[in-house]
Amino acid sequence: MTRMLLTAGAQIDARPKGGCGHTALQICAMLGNERLVEILLRKGADINAPAGVFRGRTALQASAQHSDTKLLITMLREGAEVNAPPAEQKGRTALQIAVAAGNTEGVRMLLDAGADVNANPKLTEGLTALQEAIRISDLAIRDEMIHLLLQAVAYTENHHTMVKLLVQHGAGINGLPSPHHGRTALQEAASSSFIQLTQYLLDHGAQVNMSAAHIGGVTALQGAAIHGNIRIGRDAISGAAENGRLDTLHLLLNYHPDTEEFEIRKKQAAKLALANGHLAIGRFLLAYHKHSLNV
C-alpha cells in the first residue's frame, strides 16, 4: 500500500497544516515499523524533518523510545541529527526520550553519537536528561542511567546542586564506571578539580580507591592529579598529580586508606606529575607518608 501511494504521487514528507502532525517516517518510527521505515528512507523521506509543534518527534527522537535499538541504529547510520531541536510544546530531545523509556542501550548509543547531556532545559519544560533519569521507577535502571549521564555530563560547579539532588533521590554514589573511558562520580569530580563536589561525595561515602575503568579510566586520585578533563587511563590520585592539582591531591590522600595499593598508586601518580612538569608535586608524592600530611 505504501509503495502504491508513493508511486501514485503521495507527498512523502507531508503532514497536517499548522505543523502539529507527523510525517509518515516519524509515525513509522514511533510505531517501530522497521520495514516501512526502510521503504520510506529508500524513497527519499527526510530523516531530519523537524518535530511537530505539539508533542512532535523527529524520526530519531521517535526511535529512541524503543528498547530494540535496530531503528535507532538505522537512523544514526542514515544521518539523523542526534541533537535536533525538540517540539516547541511538550518536546523532548532524543536523549531525554531514551532516558525516560529506560532504554540504557539507546542512551549509550546516543551519547556515543554526541548527544548533548546539557541540552537547554528551557526547550524541554525545564527538564534535563538527569532529571528525567530521577523519575525512573525501576531502581536498577535508574541507577545505571544516572551513572551513564554523570559520566557524560560536562561538569561545572553548578552541577554540585544536581549531584546533591541525585544522591538525595537514591543515586548510587559508588556506581561502577563503564569499562571504556568511564569514571565514577568521584573520579569525574576529582579530575575536574571541583573541590566542593569532591568533598561532598567523600562525605557521603564515595570510595576513594575504586578501580579505574579498564580502558581510558582514572581513579579519583589520578583524576585530581591530572587536572581538568582526563583523556587517558588514570586513577584519581594520578589524575590530580598529572595536572598539578595539589589541593585536590591533599583531599584524596587524606581519605585514601594506608594500604600497599595506596603506595603503588602514589608512585604511579608521582611519575605522571614529574612527566608533566609538576616537579614539586612529584617530589611531594615520592616523599609522602600518611603521617606527613598534616606536617
143: domain CATH number is 1.25.40.20
Domain check: are 201 and 148 in the same one? Answer: no
Three-class SS state of 47: coil
Is residue 1 included in any domain, yes or no?
no
- Determine the pLDDT at residue 295: 38
Domain membership flag for residue 161: no
The domain boundary, picked from 154, 185, 208, lies at 154
The values of phi and psi at residue 215, to 5°, are: -120, 120
Please report the pLDDT score of residue 18 as a whole number: 61
Is the domain of 139 the same as that of 187?
A: no
4 domain residue, yes or no: no
Nearest to 24 by CA among 231, 273, 6, 204: 6
3-state SS track over 3-36: HHHHHCCCCCCCCCCCCCCCCHHHHHHHHCCHHH
- At residue 290, the pLDDT reads 64
The answer to the question of residue 5 being in a domain is no
- What pLDDT was estimated at residue 232? 38
In a domain, 205, yes or no: yes
Number of domains into which the chain is organized: 2
149 shares a domain with 19 = yes
Residues 176 and 128 in one domain: no
> Has residue 26 been placed in a domain?
yes
Q: Write out the chain's pLDDT in tens, 295 residues.
A: 556 545 545 566 667 666 678 999 999 999 999 999 999 999 899 999 999 898 899 999 999 999 999 999 999 999 999 999 999 888 999 999 999 999 999 999 998 898 988 787 778 877 788 878 878 888 888 878 887 887 776 444 455 666 776 677 666 677 666 566 666 777 777 666 667 777 788 888 888 777 776 776 656 655 554 543 333 345 656 666 666 667 767 777 777 777 788 888 888 888 888 887 878 888 888 888 765 444 3
- The domain boundary residue, chosen from 87, 122, 154: 154
Count the helices and strands in the chain (H runs, E runs).
17, 0
In whole angstroms, what is the distance from residue 93 CA to residue 114 CA?
Answer: 12
Is there a single domain that holds both residue 130 and residue 184? no
Residues 145 and 217 in one domain: no
Task: Specify the pLDDT at position 199.
Answer: 79
3-state helix, strand, coil in the chain (%, to 5): 50, 0, 45
Contact of 159 with 153, CB cutoff 8 Å: yes
pLDDT at residue 229 in the model: 34
- Please tell me the predicted confidence (pLDDT) of residue 75: 96
Q: Are residues 295 and 225 both part of a single domain?
A: yes
Please indicate, yes or no, whether residues 139 and 60 belong to a single structural domain of this protein: yes
Same domain assignment for residues 180 and 290: yes
Task: Please report the pLDDT score of residue 153 as a whole number.
Answer: 62
Contacts of 173 (CB under 8 A, 6+ apart): 167, 185, 186, 201, 204, 205, 206
Q: How big is the chain by its Cα radius of gyration, in Å?
A: 23
- Residue 115 and residue 217 in one domain: no
Structural domain includes residue 273: yes
Structural domain contains residue 234: yes
- Residue in the block written with cell 518536546: 91
Boundary residue ending a domain (88, 120, 154): 154
Query: What is the pTM for the complete model shown?
Result: 0.56
Query: In whole angstroms, what is the distance from residue 60 CA to residue 95 CA?
Result: 10
- Note whether 133 and 261 are same-domain residues: no
Note down the domain range covering 236.
169-295
**Same domain, residue pair 93 and 191:** no
pLDDT in the model for residue 130: 80
